[in-house]
Chains A and B, each alone.
Chain A
Amino acid sequence: MIIVGGLKFGAIYALAALGIVVIHKATRTVNFAHGAFVLAGAWATYGVVEVLKIGYWPAYVLVPIATGLLAAAVELVMLRPIRRADMFAVITSTIFIGIGLSEVYRLVQNTEMMGLPNPVSGPPIFIGDVIVTKEQIWVFAGAILSGLVGLAIFGYARLGRGLRAMAANPRGAVLCGYSADAMNAMAWFLGGALAGLAGVFAAPSKGISPDLAISMITAGFVAAVIGGFDSLRGALLGGLILGIAETLAAGYVSSAMKNAVSFLLLFVVLLWRPQGLFPEARIRDV
């Protein structure tokens, strides 16, 4: 039963991790602002549901588009000039952009924490002798399915081909007529959309607050590292593993350990098997 709860959060982490990996694979940038994109998604969900009163279901479509556009804007406007400089500048910029976004939320909403009701309610279901809520099923299935769709887009669609070409060899991709700028913007759009979707799923259960940004960036990171950082499947799997580990720790040790678990897991993985579960071997071009 604890595992089921873990799977639900794990699916959310998986979505977040997927976005981070998409951006990193295609643009070689590690996006420390990703957690803030998730927060933006959660916040936008609030906007769609409570402010515009359009209802919950449209949010699943509208919000990712909005956060995708936000992420693409960040890449085009802020990161493009910085990319001339080194990695240090880019990473640091994404850190501060992330904090900045959280600050904007805090200032505009004038409050730290907001909540949203569950879109899926009703009596729980019994699978075997395990109690599962409809919400858990919805989040788990929805997030994982979206993740698989994202993976499919990246892996097989025409659009994804350009991104993968960029990921495999930027010079080669450019010689195939793929514009580096357009590909970067596309990758950030896709990553941002995935983050926003994670935010829509996370809003009811995790609440909307700057803490969400920080907890999602760390969870997303840990999941990505567990999976091997450049592997999309690994990101999904890593998220699930992390979710389960966290809830197990919370159940059997203490709720404080829950927070520590993700960090400790990251530490252990980096030290013991830094290439993660699915190391992306780079085949040498003779």
Chain B
Amino acid sequence: MSSGSLRAAARVLAPSACLLAVAVIGLLFGTYWQYVVAISITAAVIGSALAMLVAYARCITIASGAMMAIGAYGATVPVVHGNVPFLPALGFAILLGAIAGLVLAIPGVRFRSHNLAMVTLVFQAVVIIILRESKALTGGAEGINVPPPVVFGHAFAGDAEFLLLCGLLCALAVLPMAVLLEGPFGKNLRALASNENAARAFGIDVSHHLVAAFTWSSALIAFAGAISAPRFRIIDPDSYGILTSIFTLAYPIIGGMGSIWGGLVGGGVLRAIPELLRPLADYIELIFCALVVGTLAFFPEGAASLIRTRRRSRRAQTGLGPRAERGSLSAASMAEALKGADPRPSRGGEGTSPDAPILTIESVSRSYGAMRAVAGVSLSVPARSLHGLMGPNGAGKTTLFNIVSGFISADEGRVRLAGAPLDAIPIERRIGLGMTRTFQHAAVFQRLSCLDNVMIALGRNTVLQATVRSISAALNSAAIRSERRAAMAALEAVGLVARAAEAAGALSLGDQRRLEIARAIVSRPQLILLDEPVSGLSKEEAQRLRELLLAINRELGIAMVVIEHNIGFLVSLCDRISVMSEGKIIAEGDAASVVADPRVRHAYFGEREAAA
């Protein structure tokens, strides 16, 4: 097995191995500690589930208590009332949890932040009330006795054997979560939490991903509730109340928001602390609250961030600057890099006759109340060409871009890509049609590495694809390796291959803009929309970016529409330029004549016209 495959497998198996190891170590101690370890392991599982929702997707959920209750009762009631064996009952509990997550999420993900938190609180409260009122089934407020789990005829009544069973099952349960979080699904969650617009522009459907995240998390939390119930011997609705939900939130926050380990370790340790620090038992909750608030104020990334910042500062000192430039801009090597990495034929110009326009904007208008932001704009961009868009502030350029990329709808008119109308097509699907874009304020996914940023930009980002690719990544399959190669080739083409593993947020602005371009080209689109690609860059950096864009256009045949205020840059890059003012196109033509056009000068300088 190659080292890459070993590493991928290790990354995904490590959490499970850790849980199992902890369980085995716990066997060495007395029965009380075996109890503590078993409960802590289940809490670690809850922590890892919450890592997905809270740490990765940045959702506040106050419903974990309810999910635990659903799992606990879901596994216990069939056993007590129906004589169902433990393992199938466990499976039923997990299924119930998943359904609960789905029911919560489908209306819930319409909202973000505090409204979402309130919806989860509603869910939490209603579930507990239902459990409390269904006396016949659940025993109501007095609770229900939970018999020890019986697997294949053997009752795991003793502490040691229960610990072992618990460790084994938890290790198994955590594995899918680790696969998802380490893989593209987890990266997509981080991306949508980092910058929703950019995530959508590269094919990530935010609602779908959040619903999936809620479903997987809830299923796992329900599992944890189900497996811990027998050890508690009695379960009652009030032990799964709002306070429980709120305190589980602390697991990923204190443990660390950077990876599954934060939730895992946070859960295990924080659950064990009240047992370890018996004399402080009364004050524990207060201490936790102080810890959480303190962590949020001073270490927003949790305890793990302290370790990471030290490592990062060491790496930052080694070789920057010149190395980044070494990435060759030579056309030949770039073309080779890109073509070699992805056997798919370049879509640039293929299938469309060389003269057919790649983008047509037909009489598009858009108003905001009385203000006409875009007024009857028509534009035609030939395939493989470079087209500039300029104009004073408020002229409507960015609105036009947003209409073309799908972020805003047009009141009138139509946009076509390679002849096909884009009207009803949501943002997430436009990348699949061969159109990508960059953003005015370098919208890279700050906390993801450059490589991850570009891999997301390959565009295979529906929930199903992301899940399959996550399994693929865990197995280090050929498919994921070729994706990685394509991404590295794109990074090499823009000169960032030396920084592939660095977090995008640590890059200089010039490098972030290059990263955006790497993202824009890796899916081999037909058209890229570039929104102020050199804003904020020095003359030299702008020059280098211009050469990069020219090379990309030449070698890969990708058409580009560029909005810029730096007119010299536009003139030196584009074949044709359109000038917008007050929502209309006032001039269009080849670069030199447009710039000399008196109407254009007037729009910028207000020089007195003869007529006025």
Contacts and interface: CB of A to CB of B under 8 A. Distances in A.
Contact of B289 (A85, A88, A99, A267): A99
A274 interface: yes
5 contacts: A30-B114, A88-B60, A95-B249, A214-B242, A264-B126
B288 to A, nearest CB: 8
Given A97-B289, A99-B285, A274-B115, A82 B253 contact: no
B300 A85 contact: yes
Given A92-B253, A266-B122, A284-B368, A103 B289 contact: yes
A221 B246 contact: no
Interface string A267-286: 10011001000000000101
Contacts of A87: 113-114
B125 A92 contact: no
Interface stretch (B67-75, B290-298, B504-512): B290-298
A97 B243 contact: no
Interface residues of A, number: 37
Nearest to A257: B129
B133 interface: yes
B289 A260 contact: no
Given A78-B297, A221-B118, 5 more contacts: A32-B114, A82-B293, A86-B58, A87-B114, A95-B62
Interface string B94-122: 00000000000001001101110111011
Nearest to B115: A270
Interface of B: 58, 60, 62, 107, 110-111, 113-115, 117-119, 121-122, 125-126, 129, 132-133, 242-243, 246, 249-250, 253, 282-283, 285-286, 288-290, 292-293, 296-298, 300, 368-369, 371
A177 interface: no
Contact of B125 (A100, A260, A271, A284): A260
Contacts of A99: 243, 246, 285, 289
Given A97-B289, A100-B293, A267 B117 contact: no
Contacts of A107: 282-283, 286
Contacts of B246: 95-96, 99
A104 interface: yes
6 nearest CB pairs, A to B: A100-B289, A30-B114, A263-B122, A103-B286, A96-B292, A96-B289
Given A104-B286, A107-B283, A256 B133 contact: yes
A96 B250 CA distance: 9
Most chain B Cβ neighbours within 10 Å, of A30, A99, A260:
A99
A85 B296 contact: yes
B220 to A, nearest CB: 21
Nearest to A214: B242
A49 interface: no
Contacts of A82: 293, 296-297
A173 B113 CA distance: 26
Contacts of A259: 125, 129
Contacts of A89: 296, 300
Contact of B293 (A91, A96, A263): A96
A240 interface: no
A93 interface: yes
A225 interface: yes
A182 B367 CA distance: 39
Most chain A Cβ neighbours within 10 Å, of B114, B121, B286, B368:
B114
Interface of A: 30, 32, 78, 81-82, 85-89, 91-93, 95-97, 99-100, 103-104, 107, 214, 218, 221, 225, 256, 259-260, 263-264, 266-267, 270-271, 274, 284, 286
Contacts of B60: 88, 91-92, 95
A112 B133 CA distance: 23
A99 B289 CA distance: 7
A88 B126 contact: no
Contacts of A32: 114, 117
Nearest to B59: A88
Given A100-B290, A218-B121, A256 B132 contact: yes
Nearest to A87: B113
A271 B122 CA distance: 13
B286 A256 contact: no
B111 A270 contact: yes
Nearest to B124: A263
Nearest to B125: A263
A30 B114 CA distance: 7
Contacts of B62: 95
Contacts of B117: 32, 91, 95
Contacts of B243: 99
Most chain A Cβ neighbours within 10 Å, of B118, B132, B243:
B118
Contacts of B296: 82, 85, 89, 92-93
A46 B285 CA distance: 24
B129 A103 contact: no
Most chain A Cβ neighbours within 10 Å, of B283, B292, B297:
B297
A89 B54 CA distance: 11
Given A81-B297, A85-B296, A88-B113, A266 B118 contact: yes
Contacts of A218: 121, 125
B191 to A, nearest CB: 16
A221 B115 CA distance: 10
Contacts of A263: 121-122, 125-126
Contacts of B371: 284, 286
Nearest to A110: B282
A266 B123 CA distance: 11
B293 A78 contact: yes
Contacts of A104: 286
B297 A260 contact: no
B443 to A, nearest CB: 16
Contacts of A267: 107, 119, 122
Contacts of B288: 96
